[in-house]
Structure 1
């Protein structure tokens, strides 16, 4: 019985009793058009004839006639013992995003009336990560080395038997077992213990930033923001109506003294102390202490993005700012996008106790909850020791790939660019010689089948020499030299 119910639901099949066209012709034409327009794609199995008869209101004899006609025309094919399918020999329609199709169909329509945020969203890009994963794509972990078999075992363990706990909305702050596992991880690996009740789970790091700024600042309030800095985060804060207080970055990280002098009344500071993106520098201890003192004295907040803290190749990971905060001014944001894989979409905030209730409520209003199944699987993965083992393996792998990148890059890029590879993270910078424009050079790199980001895209106000951001973590060691040779050829053509 279950097999007979297989196949898509076809709501477009409608009979018009008043039409002059015979019923069989109406159904035949509607099915043909659905196939031609790509609504029924090649290889799609149609419902059993008995089911179609009941749903459409035709006799079985008439429906068989329709199907036989479409088979004769080449639109359908019968497979012995399996049923009737849309012919696999038909060309598949090009996969054009629906929003592009809609824009292409109405090029002359006036722009719609939008809210202020909606209007800004039209102008602000959020496409980081949408690029084809070509070699040297920045921020890309070695996804091919992720232990998917172990992940699947954890998934099967928490969902076996259709456990009710995995099927509901879940706790507004995130599943307790996952918050406990994250607290244990932070205590051991970041030397930063916290109570699981201080943690709120979010659908990724970007959602964590959104939750924090909406809870702590009003539109028009100032936010310290490093320049250069992550472009999508800048676009997010700008679109939400906050005033971006751009601060310089040097070898010691954010210029805290300069920011305090220029923007003393800012409401919040967004900072990446463990590894700045894209420059790769770390915030020095004197500046961390100065930042904490500014926040205390001005009743301000620090949003700490613990970017790439898991991957440090020279010594232990640096302590977080939160771990030395004695006045509860730091909101710590972490995620699993780089440590596991970007599509996992699980992030978290560690909050001062007085903010927990507010953040839980706001998270419930905005996100409701992160998929409970994913949270439980991640908790099982961490609790079983698989996360720590994976991090250990990836640190070793990325250290090897980093060394191979530096060694091969010095030779291949001599006279073209200077390699700057920080002691942590997944990316490196290639500072271009001769003052060439990094945006123009990137086009040549893309044409060579490689990927990179221009540093200019991350810079708002402070002029910087031209550079390209390259991700080495996703490139196998044995492919590093030939890919860098191809990269050098692209630079030579610029």
Structure 2
């Protein structure tokens, strides 16, 4: 009598001769998936390798290889004299694939158990850099004008012959040579002298904000926050369990007196004194002094976000609050994302001397270090004078684009919106006439190929007049006219 073929029938295994995946991988993956989905249960016997090879018209060594691989992974086992079986120690009803992807038996989503902060964060927006580039995308540098050839030379020069040094973990607070170059830049171009030991290099400005909150605040502590203000930073502080207190912004900047009256015991004030985002106003000197006096009297801290300070078109860049701080209450935050390019992910803090030790320890716990080779290349770029040259060229370029933007925008949007272009920064505002809804107009503009943000997205209390936030720095002047025509069409229809 001929020997009977035993083992499960495996009709789901198909081999595609034209597939890029090797045949043994196709068979192996399908067997593994059948076990995970419960189609082949624990203890199920498989056909002998010779039988399976004949059925699939595959060489027997290929099938043997598949079975051995799945044995090593724990999915199969061999019983002496009996053959190959699905491993007996697998769960009796393995999780089905659709359940493992986050749905239950009825197809309903399974909600993971999050921490209190995780639940809060899951309700917030963290959309950064996801908008497709079109005119007039806000906060967009002229990336096509970045001196890539010089940057590559700086990178090669900084990392040549030092592999052992820059492949290891770096200093948690930043490479000494970069901190020295940043201190030199701040002293020369911002009139703000500091010791390189006061500088902590971070992976971007947001990491600096988070570091300050982690070191100095407890859950529930209050922080003044300008309203309107950057929504991602607002959500960051909320996700760190701070009580964010909206503070109005007027022509002279943050309403310091009103904030001190409403929230006198706040732990922090988050301020953008050199150029508020998105309104573009600057904090007046009397309000700067009042802010410093409040921080000193209440033993509070000021987080100074020096947003877009490099790009000022009327006069020199304004001094920072830190440069006039006689109380050591200011934590200065700078970044190279707008001055160079966003993907560089290098920012820095300038700290009061008493905070350096605590921030060093926390930076080591949270960030370990910013990639060393990027720091060394940036130090070479600054030290060689290329950073200052690039800033000068971009100021000139952005000034030209700003002038074209104001002229073309004022003409195209006459009767629809008023163009408000501050003396510094990379963005402008189009204040909408009538009772138009900026969120609706934002969607209409995007549909016509014009990118912008509604001011209402930046407001957390006390609704303001509707406006669209528009970026001019990344748009060549010859593309502006047509884009303004499309924007006017979107506004006119709504």
Bin of the TM-score, shorter chain as denominator length? 0.7 to 0.9
- C-alpha deviation, 1:485, in angstroms: 1.2
**Residue segments in structure 2 that go unaligned for 5+ positions in a row:** 1-6, 17-21, 31-57, 64-99
- The equivalent of 1:28 in structure 2 is 23
Question: Quick check: 2:104–2:110 contact (8 Å CA) kept in 1?
Answer: no
- C-alpha deviation, 1:479, in angstroms: 1.1
Give the distance between the partners of 1:34 and 1:331, measured in 2 at CA: 54
Question: Quick check: 1:228–1:462 contact (8 Å CA) kept in 2?
Answer: no
- C-alpha deviation, 1:30, in angstroms: 3.3
Give the distance between the partners of 2:395 and 2:282, measured in 1 at CA: 18
Pair 1:158–1:63, CA change in 2 (3 A): farther
Give the distance between the partners of 1:417 and 1:24, measured in 2 at CA: 63
Classify the secondary structure of the residue corresponding to 2:234: helix
- C-alpha deviation, 1:165, in angstroms: 1.6
1:442-482 Cα shifts (integer Å, max 9, x gaps): 11001011110100000011220000000110000111111
- C-alpha deviation, 1:104, in angstroms: 9.1
1:99-152 Cα shifts (integer Å, max 9, x gaps): xx9579996223111001111111011003211111111101101110111111
Give the distance between the partners of 1:64 and 1:454, measured in 2 at CA: 64
Pair 1:168 & 2:168 matched: yes
Classify the secondary structure of the residue corresponding to 1:287: helix
Pair 1:477–1:120, CA change in 2 (3 A): same
Pair 1:288–1:489, CA change in 2 (3 A): same
- The equivalent of 1:238 in structure 2 is 238
- C-alpha deviation, 1:159, in angstroms: 2.2
Classify the secondary structure of the residue corresponding to 1:356: helix
Classify the secondary structure of the residue corresponding to 1:245: strand
> Which one has the largest radius of gyration?
2
- The equivalent of 1:209 in structure 2 is 209
Question: Quick check: 2:430–2:469 contact (8 Å CA) kept in 1?
Answer: yes
Q: What count of residue pairs does the alignment treat as equivalent?
A: 418
1:8-65 Cα shifts (integer Å, max 9, x gaps): xxxxxxxxxx9988x9969526349989xxxxxxxxxxxxxxxxxxxxxxxxx96999
- The equivalent of 2:381 in structure 1 is 381
1:290-316 Cα shifts (integer Å, max 9, x gaps): 000001111111100000000000000
Give the distance between the partners of 2:225 and 2:487, measured in 1 at CA: 32
- The equivalent of 1:228 in structure 2 is 228
- C-alpha deviation, 1:153, in angstroms: 0.8
- The equivalent of 2:128 in structure 1 is 128
- C-alpha deviation, 1:434, in angstroms: 1.2
- C-alpha deviation, 1:207, in angstroms: 0.3
Question: Quick check: 1:269–1:301 contact (8 Å CA) kept in 2?
Answer: yes
Pair 1:160–1:456, CA change in 2 (3 A): same
Give the distance between the partners of 2:425 and 2:318, measured in 1 at CA: 13
1:237-276 Cα shifts (integer Å, max 9, x gaps): 1111111111110000000000011111111100000000
**Residue segments in structure 1 that go unaligned for 5+ positions in a row:** 1-17, 36-60, 67-100
- The equivalent of 2:429 in structure 1 is 429
Give the distance between the partners of 2:271 and 2:389, measured in 1 at CA: 29
- The equivalent of 1:52 in structure 2 is none
- The equivalent of 2:339 in structure 1 is 339
- The equivalent of 2:306 in structure 1 is 306
Pair 1:444–1:32, CA change in 2 (3 A): farther
Classify the secondary structure of the residue corresponding to 1:114: coil
- The equivalent of 2:364 in structure 1 is 364
TM-score for the superposition, normalised by structure 1: 0.81
- The equivalent of 2:75 in structure 1 is none
Residue correspondence of structure 1 range 56-205 to structure 2 within 5 A: 108-161=108-161, 163-205=163-205
- C-alpha deviation, 1:433, in angstroms: 0.9
Question: Quick check: 1:274–1:309 contact (8 Å CA) kept in 2?
Answer: yes
- The equivalent of 1:252 in structure 2 is 252
Pair 1:279 & 2:279 matched: yes
Question: Quick check: 1:24–1:63 contact (8 Å CA) kept in 2?
Answer: no
Moved more, 352-361 or 23-32: 23-32
- The equivalent of 1:479 in structure 2 is 479
- The equivalent of 1:263 in structure 2 is 263
Give the distance between the partners of 1:153 and 1:487, measured in 2 at CA: 41
Give the distance between the partners of 1:321 and 1:154, measured in 2 at CA: 32
Pair 1:413 & 2:413 matched: yes
TM-score for the superposition, normalised by structure 2: 0.81
- The equivalent of 1:490 in structure 2 is 490
Classify the secondary structure of the residue corresponding to 1:249: strand
- The equivalent of 1:315 in structure 2 is 315
Taking only aligned residues, the RMSD between alpha carbons, in angstroms, comes to 2.5
- The equivalent of 1:43 in structure 2 is none
Question: Quick check: 1:158–1:166 contact (8 Å CA) kept in 2?
Answer: no
- The equivalent of 2:393 in structure 1 is 393
Give the distance between the partners of 2:231 and 2:110, measured in 1 at CA: 29
Give the distance between the partners of 1:299 and 1:270, measured in 2 at CA: 15
Pair 1:409–1:103, CA change in 2 (3 A): farther
